[in-house]
Structure 1
Amino acid sequence: MAYRNGTYIAFDGQGTTSPDESDIKYFNLLKAWKKSGQDFKFSDSHKKTYQVRDSSYRETLKRRLRERLNESKNFVLILSEDTRADREMLNYEIEVAIELKLPIVACYVNYEKIQAPTELASYWPSSLSKAIKNRTVKCIHIPFKKAPIFDAISQFTIHSDNTLSSLSYYSSDAYKKFGII
């Protein structure tokens, strides 16, 4: 069995390889925060298996994604106004994360704080929406900000006994502690 210490990061690539035209820019920002060494560390699950490209056969791609998810302790999902509900591979990643009982850290771009996750349902890929409705996912909804992301990936893992519901979020006090409000 794999040692599950990685953080899996998922986002909608919007069908392009251009970092300016997709949510990969937020993934790259996470990697820059990590590289800067500013108390932001995570083990990137994407570096644990062979690289895959969008041109890979679909089954090969799914197999590699599942391998990465199997080595992960949690799942960061970057959500923006450009995230589409029907993206096949993004929904597949979410479905496997839920099957593996990975806590999902839903990070919303361009928000300062999240305290009413259902108001952001239009951002949710269809598999996340279904799991939230059925209460079959453990998920914390946070803004795409360094302090809450670092806190969430440190706190909510398959190894911890923290209780999350499908619609968990941080309190106002937590945002004060993060220096956001």
Structure 2
Amino acid sequence: MENRTGTYVAFDGLGEADPTKSDFKYYATLQAWNANKNIQFSLTNSHEKTDAVRDTSKRATLYARIQERLRASKNMLVILTSKTRYTGSALSYEIEQAIDTYRIPLIVAYPEFSSILYVDSHSGIWPKALKDRINDTGIEAIHIPFAKECILNAITRFHVNGEHLSSGKNHYKRETQIKWGLI
């Protein structure tokens, strides 16, 4: 297996060509944090390890590139919002492959919430692929707000060669979220 050092970032593009009208804006935020030398944030982006895929690419090409990127990934950061589609997006395929084929821990980030204390309260925005697998034995996931400290902590700790999570419904303790100024 390839060297698994990257973080695969997954989100629903919502079928939009304009990235400002989709959840791409959160991916762009991650890239900006990573590029800013004044911010302590480092992300080894799995998407930058392979050739780009255009919106006009055939589905088979897209899926092959997703698999290539997942093989090189140590974890997956999944960005979910109230606009995330239940089915019908590449996000569903990415989640299925990450869990079923590559056994990659998920870091599920919610930009619309400042803290996550009860995971099930967010199930209404989970895509079907996540909802169908969240209670399965062996799935590892932590649910976090889309906040720099949480994301950085999670991607450095929870990965195929790092700390393992006990289930698909983990979250940071209230005290930790208070320490980060989220509560």
Name the TM-score class by shorter chain.
over 0.9
- Indicate the SS of the match to 2:109: strand
1:13 is aligned to 13
What's the TM-score, normalizing by structure 1? 0.96
Contact 1:78–1:109 under 8 Å retained in 2: yes
2:79 is aligned to 78
1:106 is aligned to 108
> How many residues are matched?
181
The aligned amino acid for 1:34 is: N
1:127 is aligned to 129
Contact 2:142–2:165 under 8 Å retained in 1: no
Can you list the C-alpha shifts for 1:48-99, whole angstroms capped at 9, x where unaligned?
A: 1111112111111100010001000000000001101103311110011102
What's the TM-score, normalizing by structure 2? 0.95
Q: Measure the CA separation in 2 of the matches of 1:101 and 1:142.
A: 20
Q: Measure the CA separation in 2 of the matches of 1:46 and 1:124.
A: 23
Given candidates 152, 156, 159, the residue that maps to 1:157 is 159
Q: Tell me the percent identity.
A: 39
Q: Measure the CA separation in 1 of the matches of 2:134 and 2:34.
A: 30
Which 10-residue stretch deviates more, 115-124 or 127-136? 127-136
Contact 1:87–1:125 under 8 Å retained in 2: no
RMSD: 1.2
2:50 is aligned to 49
C-alpha deviation, 1:173, in angstroms:
1.3
Which 10-residue stretch deviates more, 144-153 or 159-168? 159-168
Q: Measure the CA separation in 2 of the matches of 1:80 and 1:23.
A: 8
